[in-house]
Structure 1
C-alpha cells in the first residue's frame, strides 16, 4: 500500500525588479515514487504547471544552497529573523523560461520532515521488489 503526503502552500513568484505574485502551490510526496517531490503551481491557467524533482533538493535546500541546472534551492533570510520572514528560494529553469519562487521556510521544512519520517533517507528502496523489477527490465526472467 502506498501513502501520499500533500501540502497546500502559498508561494511567491518573484519577478524582477520588485514585483511579487502569490502562487497557490500543492506539494505531493508518494511512497511509490520515494525519491521525487511533485509540485503543482496553480497559476492563472487552465491547468497547473507541474514540476517533479528530487526530494533531496528540498531536504538539503532548507539548510544550504543546492542543485544546479533546472532546479536550485536555498534558504534566504537571516537565521535570527522571525520565522515568518524566513523563506526557501526555488529557482526553476526550462526551455519555456525561468522562475524564482519563495516558500515560507517553516511550513516547507515541516512538510519535508513529514516525508522524512515516512521514508527516511537511505530507505527509499526498502519496499522495492528489486528482483521483480530487474526481471521486468530484462524481459521476464533471469533464467539461463
Structure 2
C-alpha cells in the first residue's frame, strides 16, 4: 500500500529584484517513489507545473547550497533555518522562489516518519520503483 505526505506552502515567486508575489506550492511525497519529492507550482494564469527532485537535495539545501543544473536550493542567510531560495532551470529559462525553511523542514520530518532517510531501498523492488518513476516523468514531459 502506497502512503503519501502532502503539504501546501506559500512561496514568493521572484520575478526580479524589485518584484515578487506569493503563490501556493503543493509539496508531495509518496512511498512508491521514496527518493523524490514533488513541488507543484500554481502560477496565476498558467497551468500548474510540477517538478520532481531528490528529497535529500531539498534537505541539504536548507542548510547549505545544494544541487547543480536544473535544481539548486540554498539558504538565503547564514543563520540556521533562514529562508530558502529554490532555483529551477530548463535551458535558459529560469524561475526563482523563496520560502521559509520551517514548513519545508516540517514536511521533510513527516516524510522521514514515513520512510526514514537512508531506508528508501528497503521499500521493496528498487528497480520496479525506478521504472515507475521514470515512466511518470516521461509521461509528464510528453503531456506538458
TM-score range, shorter chain: 0.7 to 0.9
Structure with the greater alpha carbon radius of gyration: 1
User: What do residues 45-75 of structure 1 show as CA deviations (whole Å, max 9, x unaligned)?
Assistant: 3520111111111111111111000000011
Structure 1 residues 110-119 or 121-130, which shifts more? 121-130
**What is the Cα deviation at residue 95 of structure 1?**
3.0
Higher strand proportion (structure 1 or 2): 1
Tell me if 1:94 matches 2:90.
yes
**What is the Cα deviation at residue 2 of structure 1?**
0.9
Question: What is residue 63 of structure 1 aligned with on the other side?
Answer: 63
Question: What is residue 122 of structure 2 aligned with on the other side?
Answer: 126
Question: What is residue 75 of structure 1 aligned with on the other side?
Answer: 75
Question: What is residue 26 of structure 1 aligned with on the other side?
Answer: 26
Q: Match of 2:72, SS?
A: strand
State the distance in 1 between where 2:79 and 2:24 align.
25
**What is the Cα deviation at residue 78 of structure 1?**
4.4
**What number of residue pairs does the alignment pair up?**
129
Question: What is residue 35 of structure 1 aligned with on the other side?
Answer: 35
Question: What is residue 47 of structure 1 aligned with on the other side?
Answer: 47
User: What do residues 92-121 of structure 1 show as CA deviations (whole Å, max 9, x unaligned)?
Assistant: 001371011011111111111111121112
Question: What is residue 140 of structure 1 aligned with on the other side?
Answer: none
Higher helix proportion (structure 1 or 2): 2
